Amino acid sequence: MYKSSERSKDEEKTKGSRYRESRYRESRHRDKHDVSHGNLSSSSRNREKSPVRELKPVDRKENNNNVGIQLKPSGLLGRNEKSKKIAASKKENDKYSPPKDSIVPASLSKSFQLFLFKSEDDKDATKIVLSSKSFYIIGKDEEVCDIIVRDSDTVSSQHAVVQFREKSTGNVSAYIIDMDSKNGSFLNEVEIPKERYIELKNQDILRFGESDWEYIFISS
């Protein structure tokens, strides 16, 4: 009984495959006949009429213009960088605060100068007039300092300050103060204490770090 049922199933599969093959042959024969007589089936006509879509390269410039995208610098980055530099400069300037008795010596009959000698053989000293400000920052930071020392890396960004102060007697004197520099400030070849005002006398010699430049203070 089991074998007869399997045989009947095989016979049904064989009949089905033969039927599909006969239908396929009839459709192929009909298509050939229609083509030879100029007649196409509806499915063939639909395939012939359907247009073939052509893919064109995308023009990025054209798309950008259509969308309205403008790739132009906004300038915000530049403004932010400038603001950072200004803020940093203000922060650096706040490193030194002048004392209450600070005074500008411009109105005085007395004059103050520094004469810079870059070497022992330097006969043409550079004259630096000290009259328009109450204090002068000395160091290698060109954006902050008033007197730039360029010949040695041992000089700090803000190394020392020449400060004018008015005494209780009404007289004005110049002072030098080391701003906690790494390599020290020297008055007449003697290192001065850090963060302490030392009064300058006529013809005192100043030197900073291991720099060979010497500054002679003159008051007259």
What are the CA-CA distances from residue 201 to residues 75, 114, 173, 220 (Å)?
A: 52, 12, 9, 11
Q: List C-alpha distances in Å: 139 to 14, 58, 87, 131, 208.
A: 104, 60, 20, 19, 9
Q: Which of 184, 145, 179, 135 is nearest to 160 (CA)?
A: 179
Helix (H) or strand (E) holding 72: none
Nearest to 111 by CA among 127, 128, 131, 126: 131
More confident residue, 67 or 125: 125
User: Which CATH number among 3.90.1310.10, 1.10.3720.10, 2.60.200.20, 3.40.630.10 corresponds to the domain 105-219?
Assistant: 2.60.200.20
CB-based contact 175:187 (threshold 8 Å) = no
Of the listed ranges 48-52, 117-121, 159-163, the least confidently predicted one is 48-52
Q: List CB contacts of 165: < 8 A, sequence separation 6 or more.
A: 99, 101, 102, 103, 172, 173, 175, 197
Helices (H) and strands (E) in the chain, counts: 4, 11
Q: Which of the residue ranges 63-77, 133-147, 148-162, 179-193 would you say has the lowest mean pLDDT?
A: 63-77
Query: Quick one: which of 53, 54, 31 has its CA closest to 43?
Result: 31
48 has a pLDDT exceeding 90? no
Domain boundaries defined on the chain: 2-48, 105-219
> Tell me: the pLDDT tens digits for 17-35?
666 666 656 665 555 555 4
Q: Which of 138, 132, 137, 136 is closest to 105 using CA atoms?
A: 132
Alpha carbons 153 and 137: distance in angstroms, whole number:
17
Residue 108 confidence (pLDDT): 82
The token duo for 106 is: 């411009």
Q: What share of the chain is helix, strand, coil (3-state, %, to 5)?
A: 35, 25, 45
Distance CA 120, CA 51 (A): 95
Q: Which residue has the higher pLDDT, 47 or 156?
A: 156
Q: Which residue stretches of the chain are H helix? A: 2-36, 42-49, 60-67, 76-93
Q: What is the mean pLDDT of the chain?
A: 77
